[in-house]
């Protein structure tokens, strides 16, 4: 589907973009892959990785700026929306800025994609959008709803929108693995709560879920990857076996456990071998065979959360992953 097409990724200089770009270039050989972001230094550093590859273009812009989006999307076939204000405490203390990027930015992108005739759009979401308790999660829930409803607005333009949702990305900049690794020689690691659990997904798995969404989507679906969980205390033990654990309490807006599908979504959720799919409740789209395909309806009241997950990552598996990815942990 993506072969010899023009693809744009918003927020493309972040962790996801650094994995999506090389993997997509290698697998699909698109005609152009445009990286849109507002950080010129990140673009400068990232551009060094691709030398004179004529397929890769860099475009400075902000999803808050609709006029700039119209220019960036000229001739684009497919869009991955990765731009977001996503650090939970930062969003709690800077709510207006978070809303401008995550909600207003989503509205701008939806309008621009429809008007510019983009074929398909996949927006990246987060576990925090399911039953949100923090501002970041609330803005991403609003964003998810906007992208789902965008399918009603595209009309004759035919632009299709879908969402992918996943939890803690292993090794990404600012996440728990590089944070613990930076402190492992200090003799003490800060633990918010000994009961805390997190989903564990690699960036490569995240990219594959986006590829699948592009191929499978009819419009309005939310895709949730099946991934393992791990207790934060077990993660800390793997990274720094000798370190003491200092309990510091849960930070503002933080959850004990990650949730990607809430009980309220169970009425519209279907299970597949490697993922779940939440179908849109609006317009009767949750009952359409072309969206359901070979899915199996989950039981009423079903939830998918990191503490009740049947699949758990072993300490040995995490250690092996760290050893295999040591050169890029926390870099992007």
CB 18 within 8 A of CB 171: no
pLDDT digits (tens, 9 = 90+) for 31-70: 999 999 999 999 999 999 998 899 999 999 999 999 999 9
φ and ψ at 72, to 5 degrees?
A: -65, -30
Higher-scoring residue by pLDDT: 87, 212: 212
Q: Is residue 131 part of a domain?
A: yes
pLDDT band at 332 (very low <50, low <70, confident <90, very high): low
What's the structural domain count of the chain?
A: 1
Q: Is residue 54 part of a domain?
A: yes
DSSP letter for each residue of 195-210: T-EEE-B-HHHHHHHH
What average pLDDT does the chain have?
94
Residue 95 has pLDDT above 90, yes or no: yes
Q: Is residue 113 part of a domain?
A: yes
pLDDT digits (tens, 9 = 90+) for 9-27: 999 999 899 999 999 999 9
Range of the domain at 271: 6-167+203-225+260-304
Q: Is residue 253 part of a domain?
A: no
Q: Is residue 176 part of a domain?
A: no
Say whether 128 is catalytic. yes
- 270 vs 279: CA distance, rounded Å: 8
Query: Cα 165 to chain center, whole Å?
Result: 6
CB 233 within 8 A of CB 194: yes
From the candidates 5, 42, 86, 128, give the one annotated as an active-site residue.
128
- 213 vs 222: CA distance, rounded Å: 9
Calculate mean pLDDT across residues 159-188.
Answer: 88
Q: Is residue 319 part of a domain?
A: no
DSSP letter for each residue of 94-117: -HHHHHIIIIIHHHHHHHHHHHTT
Report the predicted TM-score, pTM, of the whole model to 2 decimal places: 0.95
Calculate mean pLDDT across residues 162-170.
Answer: 90
Distance of CA 38 to CAs 76, 113, 252, Å? Answer: 19, 19, 28
pLDDT score at 172: 83
Residue 316 has pLDDT above 90, yes or no: yes
Two tokens, residue 14: 């972040």
- 243 vs 257: CA distance, rounded Å: 23
Q: Is residue 10 part of a domain?
A: yes
pLDDT score at 331: 65
pLDDT score at 247: 94
87 CB neighbour count, 10 Å cutoff: 13
CATH assignment at residue 28: 3.40.50.720
Q: Is residue 331 part of a domain?
A: no
DSSP letter for each residue of 172-201: -TTSHHHHHHHHTTTTEEEES-TT-EEE-B
pLDDT digits (tens, 9 = 90+) for 134-153: 999 999 999 999 999 999 99
pLDDT digits (tens, 9 = 90+) for 280-310: 999 999 999 999 999 999 999 999 999 999 9
pLDDT band at 93 (very low <50, low <70, confident <90, very high): very high
- 42 vs 305: CA distance, rounded Å: 34
pLDDT digits (tens, 9 = 90+) for 190-238: 999 999 999 999 999 999 999 999 999 999 999 999 999 999 999 999 9
Two tokens, residue 244: 């003491």
């Amino acid at each position: 589907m993506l072969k010899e097409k023009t693809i744009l990724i918003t927020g493309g200089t972040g962790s996801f973009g650094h994995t999506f770009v090389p993997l997509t270039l290698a697998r699909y050989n698109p005609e152009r892959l445009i990286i849109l972001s507002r950080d010129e230094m990140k673009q400068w550093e990232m551009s060094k990785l691709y030398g004179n590859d004529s397929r890769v273009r860099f475009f400075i812009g902000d999803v808050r700026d609709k006029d700039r989006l119209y220019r960036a999307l000229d001739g684009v076939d497919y869009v991955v929306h990765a731009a977001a204000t996503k650090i939970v405490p930062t969003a709690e203390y800077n709510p207006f800025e978070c809303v401008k990027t995550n909600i207003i930015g989503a509205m701008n992108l939806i309008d621009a994609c429809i008007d510019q005739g983009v074929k398909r759009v996949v927006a990246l979401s987060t576990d925090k959008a399911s039953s949100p308790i923090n501002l970041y999660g609330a803005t991403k829930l609003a964003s998810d709803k906007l992208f789902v409803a965008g399918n009603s607005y595209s009309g004759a333009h035919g632009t299709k929108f879908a969402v992918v949702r996943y939890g803690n990305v292993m090794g990404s900049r600012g996440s728990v693995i590089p944070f613990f690794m930076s402190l492992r020689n200090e003799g003490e690691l800060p633990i918010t709560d000994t009961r805390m659990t997190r989903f564990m997904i690699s960036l490569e798995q995240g990219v594959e879920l986006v590829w699948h969404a592009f191929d499978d989507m009819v419009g309005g679906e939310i895709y949730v990857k099946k991934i393992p969980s791990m207790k934060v205390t077990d993660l800390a033990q793997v990274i720094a076996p000798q370190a003491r654990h200092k309990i510091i309490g849960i930070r503002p807006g933080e959850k004990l456990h990650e949730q990607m599908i809430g009980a309220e979504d169970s009425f519209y959720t279907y299970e597949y071998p490697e993922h779940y799919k939440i179908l849109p409740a609006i317009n009767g789209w949750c009952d359409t065979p072309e969206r359901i395909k070979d899915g199996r309806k989950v039981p009423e009241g079903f939830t998918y959360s990191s503490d009740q997950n049947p699949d758990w990552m072993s300490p040995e598996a995490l250690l092996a992953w760290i050893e295999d990815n040591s050169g890029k942990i926390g870099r992007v």
